[in-house]
Structure 1
Amino acid sequence: MPCTRIAASRYSVGMSETPSDWSDTVFAFDAATRWFVAVTRGIAERAAGNPEVWAQPGLGEWTVRDLIGHTSRALSTIETYLDLAAEEDAAGVAGDIDVTSPAAYYERALAAGTPEIIAQRGRETAATLGAQPAAAVATLAARVLARVATLDGTEPAETPAGRIRIAEYLPSRTVELTVHTSDLLQSQGVPAAEQTLPEAAAAATLHVLADLAAQKGSAALLLRAATGRAPLPAGFTVI
């Protein structure tokens, strides 16, 4: 069933003033998380009158529900990887920090995973959200935001890509939340030109993407496109 065009305002969420450093990282993550929650809630409101909304195309082979499930992993993995690092520390088997930036994390994570594995995880996570996906996302978000608020940025997270400090891992979560919440809006008929991203989340996401472009040798292409000098090549991506 084709998506009905809707107003972007349904999915907006108010943001407050920006404060600095680890607190900036948390602020951007908080903004991205709250935006994801707000957009998911807006989709649930549509789905209340038309349950087929959840099964509409989301991104690639994912349905809207699958895409929400995948995006929610940007939150749940924080808990999982912090807990795993703490368990390894307690057992005396922890390794050294070997991933030192968000861009380095992405490079390793993308090399370790495959599109098929990522797609399947998204579907599996979507299934765990139950009959009320928006409520499940809101509960998860509240729990993770409360936990992040207790951290100082030095805590380790044990990820499949290696051990990384939460201060370097959290920006990657902001990227995932921001990019995929934009995808969700697109799936609901809100084009990019009409989307209002939380400023802190957008800035943090663009920072990581710029670092990835530099890391991959694509900085000049991105720079020239961003300044109106040349279009990007077809299929260009830094992820």
Structure 2
Amino acid sequence: MAVYGLLLAGGRSTRMGEDKSEMVFRDGETQAQRGLRLLGEVCDQAYLSLRAGQPHDGQLDVVEDAYGEVGPLGAIASAFSKHPDAAWLVMACDLPHVDADVLEYLLEHRDPEANATCFSSRFDGKVEPLCTIYEPSIAMRVLDSINREQVCPRRVLSQVRVKTMDLPRSEALDNANTRGDAAEAIGRLQNQATEKSLTVRYFAQLREQVGEEAEEVTTSAITPAGLYEELRGRHGFKLKSSSMMLAVNGDFQEWTYQLQAGDEVVFIPPVAGG
């Protein structure tokens, strides 16, 4: 059975503020160029997944969304509509740490008898749906979920038989959804990470989850965005960084701020109320 690659690049990139697929993190390639190259190296053929009518290089193999803008699940359903007998290795375009070895590892451990083969998230242990092999046996379940307006890929995967495995590298599927994420990724790819000690203070639900209002942290995070993701994995925070404010050493800062040893970092969740 053929395994085709599908690079998801049809999102609006609203949190980033610019097209994530056109950003350059490494190798002098845009994320679209790099993702298609990597998928092409390990799959029988690689396709770019785009919104209907989205501009693109006419020489690329493209799968346009046939189910409206319902996110990745619509892209997956559109891919199965194009090649229903193929398995699809689906990958998001905002994964700058993915290398061919990660995709080869996924393919080597593929279970064609399962509905999907995927990695477990290093943050919550749940399936990572956007670097996953979807088998033809899942196609009707995907389409049924879209028809019922239940368009979360994780939810679909939770209802079928999947093979899951740990990541070969913990950061392999760390994504870049915001400018803070992007700054963290670029810094790590340029080997700028150094270990440092910080003080982190928490408010509201974060303090309740941690069980204390402050803790001393030793981290190699480059930005507060990277630090928060590290702490999210440790404490199980549900809030996304984009929903919070941030202060460093008593001043409000951007999530792209470069952390220094001895900094006091404060994460400020939204305040509930009317």
TM-score strictly above 0.5: no
TM-score by length of 2: 0.26
Q: Which has the higher strand share?
A: 2
Tell me which structure has the larger Cα radius of gyration: 2
TM-score by length of 1: 0.29
